[in-house]
Amino acid sequence: MQKMMCNLWISIMMLLISIGSMNTVYADNSKTIALVMKALSNPFFSKMEEGAKRFATEQGIAIEVFGVERETDVERQISIMENLISRGYGAIVIAPADSKKLVPVCKKAMDRKITVINIDNPLHKPTLKEQGIDIPFVGSDNRLGASLVGDYIRKKLNNQGKVFVIEGIQGVENAELRKQGFIEAVKQNSQIQVIASETANWHTDEALSVCTKLIQTHGHVNAIFCANDTMALGALQALEMLDLVGKVFLAGYDNINAVRDEMRAGRIHATAEQHPELMGEYGVHLAFKALKGEPIDSFVRTPIDLITYDSFNKIIGISISDIKNPFFASLVQGAKDTALLFGSELKILNANNDDSQQLTDIMNLLKEKLNGVIINPTNSEIMGPAIELANQKNVPVITVDRKVNGGHIATHIASDNIEGGKMAAQAIAKSLHNKGTVIEIEGIPGTSAAHERGKGFNDMLSQFADIKIIARETANFDRKDAEKVMLRILKKGIMVDAVFAHNDTMILGVLDALKQMNKPLPVLVGFDAIDEAVVKVKQGELTATIAQKPYKMGQLAVQNSVNLFRNETISPVIPVELNLIQK
């Protein structure tokens, strides 16, 4: 009997421990973020999951991912939400399968003090209002994305023809927005007729059936727009069955890999990239901030890009003055990432700041098959013959950061270096209270960047009568050269209140020299906002740097090459905004 009682007590204790462990697990869920998506089989949501998990890993955030089999499984998604609520998750990031039906269960979560973030498909605003709640949204402008596709198709059809629209789930917010955006754009100032618009519920098999029926009913059609890429693949199957591939313009929405492969083959012609990886990342970021009690934005927009078959298999050459310079390395990275997005091949050449090497590189590049060339010149005067050869071969030329003289340029992409120089002068004047001595460290003679930054700096500084430039030295945009120049100045016993260098690598060289000589740090201002310089600004060793966003320059250079492949008109000058970075 005593043994039985002992065993009973042991069983009771184990049960209590088990219950306690369950409560602990549930309690731990209060710090966990749940990502609830639609069909996990859709590659679009795989990208969303990747972005969310990558950010969560980087930040040490606990995250779990849930989804349904088909995008019409609304009740199943509601059931998942109910389960998450009962288990006490701290936050739920949801891409709702239905814009209206998911609102009540989201309200239930919020009533339980669970943070809810809406991504991808916006919840229905009137229904949210009826429930008396407001939920932050992260996503792209679906109407805008579809209008980009519609405008492209309209141009391809020369404003005439017949079009089918294959819709997503009717009543779902993003499905309706895509339908509206496409129809408005394709019909704008055109004779194009939308002769049918039917739903395929986001599914490939249904799109195959619907497209086959529509073509058999209405006969020849000039273009088909599908509100997502999985339906575009179904439409492509229908065109294959009816021997119409290549005879009908076909467009989707989402930029999944299977559609990219078909665009590479010229069988699908357009789609929209709405960066689901950023939706996942930004959604988790908002939820994480909310869990920490920090204020969050009610709307975070993710970018959207039109992707078309015109840019696939195209080859773009890019010649960089000095890829070892972190500024230009960032520019190249922006170009590489963007070329990958648009399906183009990027051939990268590094001139190592050698004028003749760059001229030879570009001349040799133009002997090969080339669809466009991007040049960041070592010298504004030397590149003329290369530009003229490109013009003769009808290869469009885009210059970035630095200008060239001679030949025809499709566009020049750069910050306003004169304005940046002025910003540097103003920052120094403010730090010196409008009085003191300054040294200017100049870049490579003959480059537009050095000339313009110097001009802007000197023009602005001349307005301060009590600030004097006591020395100007050339350091060729190089850190070691700038260090040598500054050491020579310091060894002469020259004292100075401020130094402006035409780029950050040189101002870092100046800083190296000052530390080497154990000198107190004067006001130090650079230009470019490379990572190391920004860190030094935050640490208080540099006073300021001018940010001109090289990564964005690289992006814009490739994007505008793609626009030229589409025969679009581009601006002859594309400015990139500047910012002053201070502590």
Nearest to 274, CA basis, from 146, 428, 464: 146
What three-state secondary structure class fits 87?
coil
Helix (H) or strand (E) holding 166: strand 162-167
pLDDT at residue 71, as a whole number: 82
Q: What digits encode the pLDDT tens for the residues 521-565? A: 999 999 999 999 999 999 999 999 999 889 999 999 999 999 999
Query: How many Cβ atoms from other residues are within 10 Å of residue 155's Cβ?
Result: 14
Q: What digits encode the pLDDT tens for the residues 341-367? A: 999 999 999 999 999 999 999 999 999
Query: How many Cβ atoms from other residues are within 10 Å of residue 276's Cβ?
Result: 29
Classify burial at 158, counting beta carbons within 10 Å of its beta carbon; exposed 0-12, middle 13-18, buried 19 or more: exposed
Q: Note whether 197 and 165 are within 8 A (CB).
A: yes
Question: C-alpha angle 115/119/120, rounded to 5°?
Answer: 165
Query: How many Cβ atoms from other residues are within 10 Å of residue 18's Cβ?
Result: 10
78 backbone dihedrals φ, ψ, rounded to 5°: -60, -40
pLDDT at residue 111, as a whole number: 97
Averaged pLDDT, 33-48: 90
DSSP class of 303: P
Domains of the chain by start residue, with CATH: 29-139+275-303 (3.40.50.2300), 142-273 (3.40.50.2300), 313-415+551-576 (3.40.50.2300), 417-547 (3.40.50.2300)
Mean pLDDT of the chain: 93
For residue 463 the two structure tokens come to 């307005």
pLDDT band (50, 70, 90) for residue 3: very low
- Give the distance, in angstroms, between the CA of residue 146 and the centroid of all CA atoms in the same chain: 19
Please report, rounded to a whole number, the percentage of residues in the chain having pLDDT higher than 90: 87
Q: Note whether 140 and 301 are within 8 A (CB).
A: yes
pLDDT band (50, 70, 90) for residue 16: very low
pLDDT at residue 42, as a whole number: 86
Pairing of strands 223-226, 270-273: unpaired
Averaged pLDDT, 21-39: 72
Q: Is a pLDDT exceeding 60 seen at residue 14?
A: no
Distance spanning both ends of the chain, measured CA to CA? 76
Q: Note whether 521 and 547 are within 8 A (CB).
A: no
Q: What digits encode the pLDDT tens for the residues 369-393? A: 999 999 999 988 888 899 999 999 9
Q: In what order do the strands lie in the sheet with 249-251?
A: 193-199, 162-167, 223-226, 249-251, 270-273, 305-308
Averaged pLDDT, 435-451: 94
pLDDT at residue 39, as a whole number: 82
pLDDT band (50, 70, 90) for residue 446: confident
44: which residues sit within 8 A by CB, 6+ positions away? 228, 229, 254, 256, 276
Q: What digits encode the pLDDT tens for the residues 177-207? A: 999 999 999 999 999 999 999 999 999 999 9
Pairing of strands 397-400, 411-414: parallel
Averaged pLDDT, 66-78: 92
Averaged pLDDT, 236-258: 96
